[in-house]
Amino acid sequence: MNNFINLIPAPDVSPIPSPPELFIFFIMFTFFVHLLFMNLTLGGSILFVISKYLSKKEETKAIAKEIGSINTFNISLTITTGVAPLLFYQVIYGQFFYSSSVLLGWKWLFVLVAIIVAYYFYYLYKMKPGYLKEGNDSGGGFVFISAILFLFVALMLTTNTVLSMSPDKWLDIYMKKASAFSIASVIPRVLHFIFAAIAFTGVFLMAYPKFRKSLDEKVKKEMYDFGKNSFVYATLIQIPVGILFLFSLKSEAMGLVIGGSSIGLVCWLIGMLAAFYGVSRVFSKKDSVMGLSILMLISIACMVIVRRVVETGYWSKYFDFSTLKVNPQWDVFGLFAILFVALLAVLFYTFKRNVKEVAEYKG
């Protein structure tokens, strides 16, 4: 055990500018906000492919057109909101994160390229240069490639997170005796994110026709049904995926979720019950969009807390963030708090403006 512990770099000797608990709070809060838009980006890209290429109904293909248009907004907000949790994460767990990033090498560096290319391809589909307007596919192939690239990004971000929590695997991966992708919880964790994104986007598609007034009534009904089915099936698939994910965790982390931590257990149960109560409401034909949206937000918030509990279970063997040196700079924190509130206001305004543009869109 001591062999791999010696591989873990020492924490940065520079004191952090506020108590570590404050950084942990902002990691969780900003990650929650990021998840909302990330789910729409990833889930929307997958549902675009399904609606455009796996259905023969014209109304369903019209759904793909809508997703391809609105996902440009979602991607920009996903990137914007994704920076903050990554930076907070590096302050507290930098020695783990940088080590795992180096071990992943070019595959990690390619994440940035993948995001840029995927974003650009979405705009090619949305703006449709002349040669795309004339083709039968109308540029859908670009979004298909974007979906693959976003799946790659999801895989790499998940792998980096899991690898950063697994210093016992570092030496074997460095010596090429093992692959980072072979860590037991990587694939179940990725699948958990993918189906959660599809379910969340399904609820979004149920709500979308209420704002998009100019949509054809047949398309509105098809979008509502398509979103409802996406939510139900993706949530039900989460049952085996969630069980697989749970049992892929190390014993210490799994123990925290199912009983070792009362917070972890309660949040895990609430998150699951909220999601499956939503499914039961759909089956009983009482599928209020507002109600489902609230249930999904509760489920995501609870799972963010569970994620934190799991991370604590992994890192507690190697590192105690409470030992970090602290030199509070409350004036700097005050400025940050003001700018952070301003950012949330801008995000809210942007979202509200996008809703208005969608409602007025005549395309």
* Annotated domain spans of the chain: 16-321
Q: How far apart are CA 233 and CA 235, in angstroms?
A: 5
pLDDT digits (tens, 9 = 90+) for 66-101: 898 889 889 998 998 999 899 999 889 988 999 999
**Is 175 strand, coil or helix?**
coil
**Is 16 strand, coil or helix?**
strand
Sequence-ordered list of residues with C-beta below 8 angstroms from that of 259, at least 6 positions apart, any chain: 265
Q: Is residue 309 over pLDDT 70?
A: yes
Q: How far apart are CA 51 and CA 60, in angstroms?
A: 5
| Segments of the chain assigned E as strands | none
Token code pair at residue 151? 């799946």
Q: How far apart are CA 189 and CA 151, in angstroms?
A: 13
Please, what is the Cα angle at 108 between 103 and 109, to 5 degrees? 115
Please, what is the Cα angle at 257 between 255 and 259, to 5 degrees? 65
The pTM of the full predicted model, rounded to 2 decimals, is 0.90
Sequence-ordered list of residues with C-beta below 8 angstroms from that of 35, at least 6 positions apart, any chain: 300, 304
Q: Contact at 8 Å (CB) between 45 and 150?
A: yes
Q: How many CB atoms are closer than 10 A to CB 22?
A: 15
Q: Contact at 8 Å (CB) between 98 and 105?
A: no
The CATH number fitting domain 16-321, selected from 3.30.1890, 1.25.40, 1.20.1630, 2.30.30: 1.20.1630
pLDDT digits (tens, 9 = 90+) for 31-80: 999 999 999 999 999 999 999 888 778 888 889 888 988 898 899 989 98
Structure confidence at residue 210 as a pLDDT band (50, 70, 90): confident
> What local confidence, expressed as pLDDT, does residue 62 receive?
86
Name residue, tokens 């799946």. Answer: 151
Q: How far apart are CA 314 and CA 252, in angstroms?
A: 7
Q: Contact at 8 Å (CB) between 41 and 150?
A: yes
Q: How far apart are CA 260 and CA 254, in angstroms?
A: 8
pLDDT digits (tens, 9 = 90+) for 140-162: 889 999 999 999 999 999 999 99
Q: How far apart are CA 55 and CA 47, in angstroms?
A: 11
Q: How far apart are CA 270 and CA 216, in angstroms?
A: 38
**Is 177 strand, coil or helix?**
coil
Q: Is residue 362 over pLDDT 70?
A: no
Q: How far apart are CA 220 and CA 210, in angstroms?
A: 8
Q: How far apart are CA 313 and CA 254, in angstroms?
A: 8
